[in-house]
Amino acid sequence: MNTAWNWFKNLSAFIVIAVILGATLVSCNAEAKEKPSPLKIDGPVADYSIKAKHIAWDELNSNQVDNAYHPAVMCLAENIYFEARAESVSGKAAVANVTKNRVEDTRWPSTYCEVVQQGPKRESWKTKQHSDLADEDRVYYPRKHRCQFSWYCDGEADVIWANYNNGKLIEMNAKAWRDSVQVAIWTMGVGNITIEDNTKGAVYYYAHNLVYPSWADTKQYIGVLGNHTFMK
């Protein structure tokens, strides 16, 4: 009898301890899920590696950029990176200033993300088949090769690895991404440093080693910086 009673008491104690530990673990997990991650800086378009997120967060934090400006900074930084990651800082700044000049020109949209993503869109078939969906719940994609900045609608995956490319370590990618975020912050003037327009008001450019667009003959030539010709 005593043996059975002792066994029951031990089992009861074990169950109580297990319940307490389980409740504690659930509480800890719930608390962990509620804490915002400082690395959750998802750009408006591109995907980021962990290192790329670290770099972005470091630059936003060290430059004391207000949270309200984060989406715009990331839109501009992505545009700089994909359009001019092989350029010098001056070349990156020139691309950034063209984007900024468009934001400030009434012929283009008034926000950085809208300017970068400007162009005709098509709705995803996944949302198009639901007539009762609200507009904010619908998903749209850019029409291929019909946007203002070629990288945004070239059909290629937009990924900022910042450290790897096809499995090989390429430190220049990390530097190019850090420079892109810095230049975006400086161009917008939302951090500790502000830079002036080095394109003299350009709102167009093209990669002269790759293409000579038909519209170039109708624009005013400003100059060449790196691999881009700038016009207005």
d(CA 229, CA 221): 8
200: in domain: yes
Residue 114 placed within a domain: yes
In the chain, how many domains are there? 1
Q: Is residue 13 part of a domain?
A: no
Q: Which two tokens stand for residue 82?
A: 């994909």
In a domain, 133, yes or no: no
Q: What is the extent of the structural domain holding 53?
A: 47-120+156-231
- pLDDT tens digits for range 132-179: 988 888 887 788 888 999 998 888 888 887 765 555 556 778 899 999
Would you state the structure tokens that stand for residue 79, as one six-digit string? 């545009």
Whole-number pLDDT of residue 164 = 57
- Condensed to tens digits (0 to 9), the pLDDT of residues 126-135 reads 888 888 988 8
Q: Per residue in 37-96, pLDDT tens?
A: 333 333 467 888 888 999 999 999 999 999 999 999 999 999 999 999 999 999 999 999
Rounded to whole angstroms, how far apart are CA atoms 62 and 211? 38
pLDDT of 100: 97
Residue 122: per-residue pLDDT = 82
| pLDDT for the residue numbered 48 | 87
Q: What pTM, to 2 d.p., does this model score? A: 0.75
Phi, psi of 226 (to 5 degrees): 65, -130
Kindly state the helix (H) or strand (E) to which residue 23 belongs, with its residue range: helix 2-34
| Measured distance CA(162)–CA(158) in Å, rounded | 12
Is residue 37 in some structural domain? Answer: no
pLDDT band at 221 (very low <50, low <70, confident <90, very high): very high
